[in-house]
Amino acid sequence: MIETGRIVILGAGIAALTAALRLAPRPVLVISPDPLGQGASSAWAQGGVAAALGPDDSVAAHVADTVVAGAGIVDVAVAQAVAEAAPEAVAALVALGVPFDRDAAGAFALSREAAHGQARVARVQGDSAGAAIMARLIAALRNTPSVQVLEGFAAERLALSSGCVTGVWLGRADVPSQPVLLKTPAVLLASGGAAGLYAITTNPGRVRGQGLGLAARAGARVADAEFVQFHPTAIACGGDPAPLATEALRGEGALLVNSRGLRFMAGAHPAAELAPRDIVARAVFAQSQSGLAPALDARAIFAGNGKAHFPTVAAACAQAGIDPARQPIPVAAAAHYHMGGVACDLRGRSSLPGLWVAGEVAATGLHGANRLASNGLLEALVMATRAAADLAENLPPGEAPEVHLAPQVVGLGPDPAMVADLRGLMTDCCGVIRSESGLRRALGDLALMSRRALPEPMLNMVAAATLIAAAALLRCESRGGHFRADHPQPDPTLARRSRLTLAEAEALRDEKVPA
């Protein structure tokens, strides 16, 4: 066991790095499985940061669009607080040197994305916001003496004493090892989402619900686990993860067509290609299931200056052998973002004393059943700032020496075949379209997995998957990112957020699949 006075931050995306900087000069320890800037979903975010920055925009309009997209279960107080903080969050990034796109007059060049009433997304080089923001945060972090970064390590489970989080067991990220207990005054969990639990995903390979799983295994209450957002325009080139064709392309006029050259969104929703993501994703999925090869026709954009405005998409297309100026880009619906996560309040506090959460692993109530485009990076920035403020207010300042870990290499890591089976199961049974029979099958297979001797990372993944499947089985309606083929309409009596512990999810699982 090692004891430290440093606040331990699990994760290395935008939420984690923002919190570490905001906590300065308090000593913190950032645990990153990969070298900083690699392996975090934040760096791959193409859209940008949603904020009421335009002359005709307002916080009220931003809140209203968030509430509508969230399909009836957004926590309006949270939406108001986050939208109010959005311009300041963007200003803080500008102060760090993030080069947001500007128009000729020097104002933000804002883009419009799905379900936004107007252009509201501050972007960088069209589709490179996440990478640009991460680069500036990392540069600032490297120059902050109070921050220690341990790369190549991952959290495996939380340590508890009298129901309070008192530490974390850490192991090497890539080599099976005997975990070391690190005692700490507080843990901020900012480890990303759970979309990598699916076989078709846009998330980096490490982002597979491990953070959600380890918090749930410690007893943290989870909210809205059933709500997974599927991005409608992942590039269907066989990549794992699938590269993304940003929603901003549709904001610029790109159209969704099938192999017959027919637009299929024009009659599906009044906003057509700019309908809420869940509606577009189901339409793309339906075309795929029908063998009609959905594609994004952005030829007019890339025949002009699209390569300069959307360099990330252009590079992904080039790597896949696609010329977007001459042919539509084949697309598929892919697991992209988890609206659910560890339940927390506006201070970032979870139900477990000693555990704060921020970023995609948290469930604040901002997203409801369907995240509004580019509210994800915004929430990470705002909630990391709020969690850091609460930590600073409630923990005494002090100095702490750097932490040095040397876990002993032992045993075996997760079985790649089992991980592949788990991801396939989630795509087949807990994917874009769900049913009672499929969800029961998922819980049955998860029960069998859980009865095997599994390493800690696999236990965390199975726990996260169990929460998603159980919550989806309990919600007998369709709402936002959760669509039940056997209950295709929303039920007004279920217009509320869900709450679930892992123990409750496992009880439901075992009730359906007795040992």
Digit-coded pLDDT (tens) for 440-452: 999 999 999 999 9
> What mean pLDDT comes out for the span 337-347?
97
- 315 located within any domain: yes
Q: In the structure, how many helices (H) and strands (E) does the chain have?
A: 15, 20
Provide the whole-model pTM: 0.94
pLDDT of 385 reads 98
Place of tokens 């876990």: 407
- 470 located within any domain: no
Give me the residues paired with residue 50 across strands: 121
- 280 located within any domain: yes
pLDDT of 515 reads 56
d(CA 513, CA 304): 57
Catalytic, 299? Answer: no
Digit-coded pLDDT (tens) for 74-101: 999 999 999 999 999 999 999 999 999 9
- 118 located within any domain: no
Digit-coded pLDDT (tens) for 14-49: 999 999 999 999 999 999 999 888 877 777 777 799
Query: What CATH number is given to the structural domain containing 246?
Result: 3.90.700.10
**Burial level of 11, CB count in 10 A (0-12/13-18/19+)?**
buried
- 99 located within any domain: no
With 80 as the cut, is the pLDDT of residue 430 above it?
yes
Q: How many domains does the chain have?
A: 1
- 282 located within any domain: yes
d(CA 362, CA 75): 14
DSSP structure string for 443-477: HHHHHHHHTS---HHHHHHHHHHHHHHHHHHH--S
d(CA 229, CA 131): 21
Percent of residues, the chain, with pLDDT higher than 70? 99
- Of the two residues 168 and 306, the one the predictor is more confident about is 168
512: phi then psi, degrees, rounded to nearest 5: -80, -30
- 434 located within any domain: no
Spot the catalytic one: 277, 299, 371, 386. Answer: 277
Q: Quick one: which of 446, 440, 445 has its CA closest to 484?
A: 440
> What mean pLDDT comes out for the span 298-324?
93
- 302 located within any domain: yes
Domain with 251, as residue range(s), is 228-336
